[in-house]
Amino acid sequence: MMRRPANEARRAIARFRVGSGAAAKSSLPARLSKFPELDLRNAVNRERPRTIRLSMVRGQGFLNERTFDMEAVASDERVRLGTTEVWEFVNDSPMAHPMHIHNLQFRVIERRSASSTSNDRSDLSAGFTDEGLKDVVLVLPGQRVKVLMRFENHTGLYLYHCHILEHEDLGMMRNYRVEGKAM
């Protein structure tokens, strides 16, 4: 018989009481959710995507050569409410970075590698990996990944960052601001 340490003693965490009577009748709605309509033709910058360069230098993480500052928002980190945009993550570092954008979901529309010699990198652009809506996209070393997103419903200050905690803590996180239609 295995003994449990004192700090793992059994204790009740929930109690359920089932009453009598008929179960409530319910049915599924005709539509469970609505996905944002993302069309590249609607992107205000489809010819010139907003570029975000990912780099690591001597243990410091950078996004466009900037590190995190609690309230800083550069002019190229401001977007207009109601617009659709293309952002392109360019990984100049020797490490993979799963990039996360707060407040929205996006579609991966293009993935290119500097070198086509690695099968694992080219395999990521095929199949289900880049399909559907995302809030995180993996950007491998030497890759350029374009994402399409629409800024709707809310203005305010939001984050985009590498989803590896150590990279985020080392500065690979920035604010972006969604501003009203009159910018």
Q: Is residue 20 included in any domain, yes or no?
A: no
Range of the domain at 52: 38-179
Q: Is residue 14 included in any domain, yes or no?
A: no
pLDDT digits 0-9 by tens, 84-141: 999 999 999 999 999 999 999 999 999 998 765 555 555 555 555 788 899 999 999 9
8 A C-beta contact, residue 167 and residue 96: no
For the chain, what is the domain count?
1
| Residue 4: both structure tokens together | 């449990």
Rounded Cα distance between 140 and 147, Å, is 15
Band (4; pLDDT cuts 50, 70, 90): low
- Residue 103's SS3 state is coil
Give the chain's end-to-end CA distance (angstroms, integer).
69
Pairing relationship of beta strands 97-101 and 136-139 according to DSSP bridges: antiparallel
Q: Is residue 13 included in any domain, yes or no?
A: no
Q: Is residue 8 included in any domain, yes or no?
A: no
At a CB cut-off of 8 Å and minimum separation 6, what does 175 contact? 69, 71, 72, 73, 77, 157, 158, 159
CATH code, domain with 54? 2.60.40.420
pLDDT at 76: 96
Q: Which of 13-22, 89-98, 149-158, 167-176 has the lowest mean pLDDT?
A: 13-22
Rounded Cα distance between 173 and 21, Å, is 54
- The CA–CA distances, whole Å, from 91 to 23, 126, 135 equal 55, 19, 18
Max CA distance (Å), the chain: 70
Q: Is residue 28 included in any domain, yes or no?
A: no
Band (62; pLDDT cuts 50, 70, 90): very high
Mean of the pLDDT values across residues 144-173? 95
Q: Is residue 69 included in any domain, yes or no?
A: yes
Rounded Cα distance between 160 and 162, Å, is 7
Identify the helix (H) or strand (E) that includes residue 164.
none
Q: Is residue 98 included in any domain, yes or no?
A: yes
